[in-house]
Amino acid sequence: MTDPTSRLDRRLKPILDLLHRHELVDGLVRQQDQPRKGLVEGLVHRQHLAQLGNALGKLHAADIAHLLERLLPDDRMLVWSQVSDADGGDVLWDVNDTVAEALIARTDPQRLVAMCRRMDPDDLVYVAELLPADVRSRVYASIEQEDRDWVDASKRYPEDSVGHLMTPEMLAVAETATVKETLKTIRRLGDLPDQMDRVFVTDARGRLVGSFALTKLFLHPLRTPVAQFMDRDPASFYADAPAARTALAFERYDLISAPVLDAKDKLIGRLTVDHVMDFVREEAEEDALLREGLRGDEDLFAPALFSARRRWLWLFVNLLTAFVASRVIGVFEGTIEQLVALATLMPIVASIGGNTGNQTVALFIRGLALDQIKKDNVGYLVRKEIGIAAFNGLIWGCVMGAVAWLLYGNPRLGMVMAIATLLNLVVAAIAGVTVPLVMNKLGRDPALGSSVMLTFVTDSMGFFIFLGLAAAVLV
Amino acid sequence: MTDPTSRLDRRLKPILDLLHRHELVDGLVRQQDQPRKGLVEGLVHRQHLAQLGNALGKLHAADIAHLLERLLPDDRMLVWSQVSDADGGDVLWDVNDTVAEALIARTDPQRLVAMCRRMDPDDLVYVAELLPADVRSRVYASIEQEDRDWVDASKRYPEDSVGHLMTPEMLAVAETATVKETLKTIRRLGDLPDQMDRVFVTDARGRLVGSFALTKLFLHPLRTPVAQFMDRDPASFYADAPAARTALAFERYDLISAPVLDAKDKLIGRLTVDHVMDFVREEAEEDALLREGLRGDEDLFAPALFSARRRWLWLFVNLLTAFVASRVIGVFEGTIEQLVALATLMPIVASIGGNTGNQTVALFIRGLALDQIKKDNVGYLVRKEIGIAAFNGLIWGCVMGAVAWLLYGNPRLGMVMAIATLLNLVVAAIAGVTVPLVMNKLGRDPALGSSVMLTFVTDSMGFFIFLGLAAAVLV
């Protein structure tokens, strides 16, 4: 009867204590190195492992996943070795992809099959993509025909589509059914799954014709036909629609679950708020990492060499853009030689452009994500951002110009500084507006790469404007 | 029977068409300027307004909010003028704070009171904070005693706490109740609110003793006591707990609703997944803006001057850090004068440090948010990040050193470039680890400001290391 996450901390403590007794980890390492180690030591080790398995058995699969994600590689494998086959599949579903891949790579195929064959088919679809081909086909061979059909069907929908997120578990009755018949159907099913707040109603061809809240069954007499009180225009989604749009609808209309239809309006599955919420959170977290050129499912505890290589492409892209910006400076080396203060002041012009441009980028990315930027208002927004940039450029350009004048006692240097600041802020606003809009137009996620492109433009143009003006006016 | 968000686009079209007929907006403007305008014109205008009000009446409050957020200021006020009193309160709750403030500032107090007195008390708590004091007290005076007590109680909890997000609408029965008595209670309430998936069970003193899924009522005979099948250890939250932790629990255990308790374990409210989901999404969006120094609820369509001033503090902070970094260069002006290539190459060293440091910052912010970074593993992570930086610094430092050597035919310049790159990457890793951890330790959100601090360190240190080395070795 307390906050389940703080309760979790208490429950994890004995497990972490077990792990911190050196014998345990040492035991495992030594077991591999010296196969014939002392009998007593082996017994102690085995006893600790049993305690660990016991403690894990009492945890929710999502909690085991959380524990695995925050353990160092050795401890992680040790804990994973004690996870039961019954929990294993759900744990693989819950951990992030990189951790799941690492676990799968070091798990016996036999054990993987035993774990995955017990999973709900909608979760299996997701985990199956990470399994080696032979394990995957052995799992498929071992599940029921009905589940296999489901897996085949949902694999046909693209990743990040509704079809990929939906579940086969739903409650559907014919449009001719009464309250009594619906209650019978429910009792036949026994315990209903979570997030089951609505009953879907279909016609003779399996097409969705309505839905009603489960609670309606409490309020109407047994012989009332459900068609009498059902909602004839319920929110529903096509399986091939992008999941991101669904998230907006779930949030805006406070949905718990909604029917999923194929292209012929046939009811084929159900989308639930927990899957949608997972999707929203994962997307938001991934975006924060992707913006910095990291993979969205980056594993904090992956081996250093592995992580280092993953970051090379980004390092390379950044070096390249920095190198190009630096070549712009190179063109003006003669000017800098004559007035070395330019070298000191130029990073300020570039930096302030990058910072304000990234504000514009962030605003436009959010506006696009919330569907607020449309043809009828984009012109106003562009004019507004450029207006703000010009206004702020005027004020802060004068401030920085005055500072430069005072520092170097050169009024013309101050003027160059002021004009360059103003111009680079306007360039930053134009680039900050253009880059996300173009990315969006090209069907790419503007959150990825917009910031690099923007900084590249504001750096190069900042150096060019400042040094070019100086070359024309000062030397 | 289609995706509700695409359906919305169709429903908004006639409204936008109405707005785009110039008479309408002109009409409003002229009405203010020339009070006694032609009778016919006035009639046409009034007819259009009636059409607008009609169209708005068919929309969900959340859709009206979405429409208002994406309209330019004039159109926004026109649409808002036609929103009914019944919808008005919910619309104010749904729009973001900046837009709500703008609407409230230009709305007749009488109308505000009429709108707000109809709101659910949990939503009212939120909107009331934005109302002028006199309107607020008139609203409070006009609502029922029971609701006023609720508002008073929940105001006592800090913002971003569970108490602030909870709703009074819940279904609670005594621990002695049977299925039949529970059904009676439900029928007395009539239609149940959404997100009502569980019934809470309390003892004679109002303390929570259990809860059960509503669907259990279908599966047990009428005279079964609920105590027989209720869950005796349900997930629950204290009202003063931070909402962010709850979001983690809702997501991890797929909750729809959960009981909220006061410090004495008394059941005082209910937390629902839609409020938690709103909270998660708003936080994620706000973070993206706050990272760039914008207010989280920045209104895209606010007047330009207003937006410009809002960005001043950030501009000032950034100018200050850029200025300090520039003074570091100033110290080495003599060195640069002797070898102007240094001015060309120095931004590369600073920029690569900033980029890789921000990767580390992003990883640590996520790790902290997901509760994955703890005392027992932080040492490993710090060593790992520094190791990656050293390794990548060695490789890419050599590459950049070779490029500098080739460009300027100066092997010692190449060496300085290589060593400076390596050292600045290590500095970036150390700062990237330290800044978020210290911010977190100080109880501040590491997402805010970490990136500015980091870039400040990598710029200043990058210039210092590179130019300092050059001064020692080259000239």
* Range of weakest confidence among A41-50, B17-26, B415-424: B17-26
A300 CA to chain B: closest CA distance, Å?
Answer: 7
Whether B400 has its CB under 8 Å from any CB of chain A: the answer is: yes
Q: Which residues contact B279 (CB under 8 A, 6 or more apart)?
A: B165, B243, B244, B247
Give the largest CA-CA distance in chain B.
95
pLDDT mean over B54-74 = 86
Asked if residues B440 and B319 have their Cβ atoms less than 8 Å apart, the reply is: no
Give pLDDT tens digits for A103-118. 999 999 999 999 998 8
Q: If you search the block for the tokens 């009498």, which residue do you land on?
A: A228
CA distance A355 to A298: 26
Closest chain B residue to the Cα of A301, Cα to Cα: B381
CA distances, B344 to each of A337, A354, B349 (Å): 11, 18, 10
Which segment of A7-11, A83-87, B144-148 scores lowest on mean pLDDT? A7-11
**Single pTM value for the model:** 0.74
pLDDT, tens only, B116-168: 988 888 888 888 888 999 998 899 888 888 888 888 888 788 878 888 888 88
**According to the model, what pLDDT value does residue A26 have?**
40
Average pLDDT, chain B: 85
Identify the closest residue of chain A to B195 by CA–CA distance: A256
CB contact under 8 A, B72 and A380: yes
Cβ-Cβ contacts under 8 Å, B370 against chain A: 66, 69, 285
Domain segments of chain B as ranges: 4-155, 172-282, 311-473
Closest by Cα among B286, B277, B212 to B248: B277
- What is the architecture, at CATH level 2, of domain A172-282? Roll (3.10)
Q: Tell me which CATH homologous superfamily contains domain A311-473.
A: SLC41 divalent cation transporters, integral membrane domain (1.10.357.20)
Q: What is the token pair recorded at B148?
A: 């006023």
> With a CB-CB cutoff of 8 Å, which residues 414-443 of chain A face chain B?
none
DSSP 8-state code for residue B267? E
Whose tokens are 């070091």? That residue is: A106
Q: How far is A318 from chain B (nearest CA, A)?
A: 7
B192 inside 8 A of chain A by CB: yes
B220 touches chain A (CB under 8 A): no
- What proportion of chain A, given as a percentage, has pLDDT over 90? 39
Which secondary structure element, helix H or strand E, spans residue B97, and what is its range?
A: helix B97-105
Domain B4-155 class in CATH: mainly alpha
Tell which of B15, B63, B253, B283 to mutate to test the A interface (max A CBs under 10 Å).
B253
Q: Which residue has the higher pLDDT, B27 or B409?
A: B409
**Please, which residues 272-291 of chain B have a Cβ atom closer than 8 Å to chain A?**
273-274, 277-278, 280-281, 284-285, 287-289, 291
Domain A4-157 annotated CATH 1.10.10.60? no
**How much is the pLDDT for A179?**
93
Query: For testing the chain A interface, which of B189, B212, B274, B345 should be mutated: the one with the most A CBs within 10 Å?
Result: B274
Residue of B nearest to A221 (CA): B187
Pick from A307, A320, A339, A360 the residue to mutate for testing the B interface (most B CBs within 10 Å): A307
| Cross-strand partners of A210 | A201
Instruction: Point out the least confidently predicted range of A4-8, A460-464, B308-312.
Output: A4-8
Contacts of B387 in chain A (CB under 8 A): 304, 308
Is the pLDDT assigned to residue A147 strictly greater than 70? yes
Categorize the per-residue pLDDT at A40 as very low, low, confident or very high, splitting at 50, 70 and 90: low
Higher local confidence (pLDDT), A191 or B364 = B364
B36 pLDDT more than 50:
no
What gap in Å lies between CA A48 and CA A50, rounded to an integer?
A: 5
Chain A residues with beta carbon closer than 8 angstroms to that of B238: 2-3
Decide: B54 and B82 in contact? Cβ < 8 Å. no
Most confident segment among A354-363, A430-439, B249-258 = A430-439
Residue B25 pLDDT: 43
Phi then psi dihedrals of residue A270, to 5 deg? -140, 140
Contact yes or no for A287/B357 (Cβ under 8 A): no
Angle at A130 between CA A125 and CA A132, to 5 degrees: 110
Q: Which residues of B touch A64 (CB under 8 A)?
A: none
CB B218 within 8 A of CB A187: yes
Q: Under a CB-based contact definition with an 8 Å cutoff, are residues A348 and A400 in contact?
A: yes
Indicate yes or no: CB of B70 within 8 angstroms of CB of A377. Answer: yes
Contact B355 A253 (CB under 8 A): no
Name every residue whose Cβ is closer than 8 Å to that of residue A254 and which is 6 or more positions away in sequence. B194, B195, B274
SS (HEC) of B318-382: HHHHHHHHHHHHHHCHHHHHHCCHHHHHHHHHHHHHHHHHHHHHHHHHHHHHCCCCCHHHHHHHH
Strands B208-213 and A267-272, sheet pairing: unpaired
B451 at interface of A, judged by CB pairs closer than 8 A:
no
Q: How many CB pairs under 8 A join A and B?
A: 367
B positions 350-389 inside 8 Å of A (CB): 350-352, 355-356, 358-359, 361-363, 365-367, 369-374, 376-377, 380-381, 384, 387-388
Indicate if A311-473 has the same CATH topology as A172-282.
Answer: no
Residue A205 has pLDDT above 80, yes or no: yes
Q: How far apart are the first and last CA of chain B?
A: 76
CA A15 to chain centre: 29
The minimum CA-CA distance between B452 and chain A, rounded to whole Å, is 9
Residue with the two structure tokens 């962010």 = B244
Contact, A159 vs A244, CB < 8 A? Answer: no
Supply the DSSP string of B445-471, one letter for each residue: -TTTTHHHHHHHHHHHHHHHHHHHHHH
Which residues, at least 6 apart from A188, have a Cβ–Cβ distance to it below 8 Å? none
d(CA A415, nearest CA chain B) in Å = 17
pLDDT mean over B242-265: 86
Q: B386 to chain A: nearest residue by CA? A: A304
